[in-house]
């Protein structure tokens, strides 16, 4: 199995919906083109930011297909395929693979909270069943359990497991993974605000929410860090910091979709149980976008 190592800024894509709740295919195609034109390094459809939990299987496949079609091989496409049922995760992985994804994103099983050895067994089973590189997604705030650094490093030795999206928020844990991994295994921040420190420690990039709205700046931050321009990257970090924080003023992707609506790039439509961002937060989002240069 050979695949491009994931580095730089990947956007965890929102999924645009029409007013009737159906997929807004035109807006998704336009969003993919804009992201690539702005310099994003890879795309991640059908994650939590993409509201995959509320999609039918046909919709899930269609979103990945559209992303792949519109990307036209210009960047890798990391399709979300996670489930807390290993057999369902394998079936979903095969569907996402057949839709054209180059990599798979698999969140650690949520709700049933397996022990660390169960997490390893889950990922090993997927890697043995599906011939696509896997990105492990550690997000304790959503899953209810943390993948420990030693567990991630154990899984990094399994053929087919290529990267980790680390959203534990624990910089010390991420540092341990970076220190112990081989050069072929990518360590990607799962928190926008930690992109700069994670890359300063030797990490490879970010799977970003804020880059839905500010793709060029997030891509440039990563480019500068990769090229050793720490001062330039730091300046971008502080320029984006208000948006990095405001993007999570409510549950993701509420602020991101509100921001894209303000920019005229997608309608502010979400699927229940998610609802549009509270209007009381609109001024803060506008101010952060203005500071970032996304709005005039």
Domains of the chain (ranges plus CATH)?
A: 8-230 (3.20.20.70)
Q: Which residues contact 211 (CB under 8 A, 6 or more apart)?
A: 9, 10, 11, 35, 40, 192, 218, 219
Task: Using alpha carbons, select from 216, 215, 206, 294 the residue that is nearest to residue 258.
Answer: 294
Q: Specify the pLDDT at position 162.
A: 98
Q: Is the pLDDT reported for residue 214 higher than 90? A: yes
Q: In what order do the strands lie in the sheet with 134-138?
A: 42-44, 8-12, 205-208, 186-189, 161-166, 134-138, 103-107, 78-80
| Active-site position among 5, 123, 137, 150 | 137
Q: Specify the pLDDT at position 296.
A: 87
User: Model's pTM, two decimal places?
Assistant: 0.96
Q: Specify the pLDDT at position 4.
A: 79
Task: Using alpha carbons, select from 250, 42, 25, 14 the residue that is nearest to residue 165.
Answer: 42
- Condensed to tens digits (0 to 9), the pLDDT of residues 72-88 reads 999 999 999 999 999 99
The mean per-residue pLDDT over the stretch 17-38 comes to: 98
Percent of the chain with pLDDT over 90: 97
| Active-site position among 150, 165, 257, 267 | 165
Q: Which residues contact 73 (CB under 8 A, 6 or more apart)?
A: none
The mean per-residue pLDDT over the stretch 207-212 comes to: 98
Check if 165 is active-site: yes
Q: Specify the pLDDT at position 267.
A: 98
Tell me if 62 sits within 8 A of 28, measured CB to CB.
no
Percent of the chain with pLDDT over 70: 99
């Amino acid at each position: 199995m050979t695949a491009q190592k994931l580095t730089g800024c990947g956007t965890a894509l929102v999924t645009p919906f029409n007013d009737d709740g159906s997929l807004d295919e035109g807006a998704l195609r336009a969003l993919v083109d804009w992201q690539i034109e702005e310099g994003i390094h890879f795309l991640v459809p059908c994650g939590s930011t993409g509201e995959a939990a509320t999609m039918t299987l046909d919709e899930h496949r269609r979103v990945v297909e559209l992303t792949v079609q519109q990307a036209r091989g210009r960047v890798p496409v990391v399709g979300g395929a996670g489930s807390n049922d290993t057999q369902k995760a394998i079936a979903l992985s095969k569907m996402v693979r057949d839709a054209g994804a180059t990599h798979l994103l698999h969140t650690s099983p949520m709700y049933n909270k397996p022990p660390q050895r169960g997490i390893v067994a889950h990922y090993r089973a997927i890697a043995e069943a599906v011939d696509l590189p896997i990105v492990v997604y550690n997000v304790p705030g959503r899953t209810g359990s943390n993948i420990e650094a030693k567990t991630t490093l154990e899984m990094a030795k399994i053929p087919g497991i290529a990267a980790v999206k680390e959203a534990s928020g624990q910089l010390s844990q991420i540092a341990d993974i970076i220190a112990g991994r081989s050069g072929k295994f990518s360590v990607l921040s799962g928190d926008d605000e930690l992109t700069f420190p994670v890359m300063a420690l030797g990490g490879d990039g970010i799977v970003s929410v804020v880059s839905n709205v500010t793709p060029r700046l997030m891509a440039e931050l990563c480019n500068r860090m990769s090229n050793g321009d720490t001062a330039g990257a730091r300046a971008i970090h502080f320029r984006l910091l208000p948006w990095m924080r405001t993007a999570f003023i409510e549950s993701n992707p509420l602020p991101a979709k509100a921001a894209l609506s303000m920019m005229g790039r997608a309608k502010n439509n979400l699927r229940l149980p998610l609802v549009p961002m509270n209007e009381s937060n609109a001024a803060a989002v506008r101010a952060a976008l203005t500071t970032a240069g996304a709005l005039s």
